[in-house]
Structure 1
Amino acid sequence: MNDMTLHTRPLTDPDTGACPVAEILRELGGKHGPRILHCLLTRELHFLELERAVTGISRKVLKAQLSDFIAAGLVVRRPKYDARNRVGYGLTPKGRALGPILFQLYDWAQTYKAQPA
């Protein structure tokens, strides 16, 4: 992508006037959202596996974040009907499409985090 491409894109959605980038960042859910999505990029996980993988998150916050992701069409909830009646959480195609973007953000953060402003 060259500099002209960056400068010719509108900063707001022509229909709503909203900033699409701000909207998706809000949808990704702050501190824990990207970590949850990153965990689900590897494979479908049940709730306790996610809770263990995303250290420092409460059950209440994890449940709320998963509900938000389900409502946004990023995550799907699948009952397993096994002996423990677990529920699996996996990414939808829309959620999987965020994978390369999350990896680009990771690379950007690793490159620029140590540099002064």
Structure 2
Amino acid sequence: MKDATPTTRPWADPVTGQCPVADTLRILGGKHGAKILHCLTAGERHFLELQREMDGVSRKVLRAQLKEFEESGMVARTPKGDARQRVGYSLTRKGSALGDILGQLYDWQQTFG
């Protein structure tokens, strides 16, 4: 008979000792990180579109969070090359996968919150 105890895996990298879960939560830990990713799940947004959707978030904070998402590989920044020098932001495959996980967290919260 098999042991009914569920198997767990360590959350820390066995080589570096770093915890990728903690790193991801740190990136999302800002007040607006999850909201920004949620906005981008609907598709590419220009900076001003994001700012309008993120009512109450300063340009500085939004820019810093987008830069951190870009550096972590979750968001792609695409210059549009038009006269207004617009830039589009969209989720990468990695960011989209995290968006799916955040959707599951939302469902969990609605069920057990």
TM range (shorter): 0.7 to 0.9
Q: TM-score, normalised by structure 1?
A: 0.85
Distance 1:92 1:57 in 2: 23
CA RMSD of aligned residues (A): 1.6
Give CA-to-partner distance per residue, 1:31-90, whole Å, 9 cap, x none: 101110111111100001000111221100000001101111111111112232211011
Structure 1 segments unaligned to the other structure (5+ residues): none
Q: Name the residue aligned to 1:4.
A: 6
State the identity as a percent.
Answer: 64
Report the equivalent of 1:60. 60
Report the number of matched residues.
110
Equivalent in the alignment of 2:100 = 100
Change (3 A) 1:43 1:12: same
Normalised to the residue count of structure 2, the TM-score between the two structures is 0.88
Quick check: 1:36 aligned with 2:9? no
Question: Runs of 4+ in structure 1 displaced over 6 angstroms?
Answer: none
Matches within 5 A, 1:63-102: 63-102=63-102
Please tell me the residue identity of whatever aligns with 1:4: P
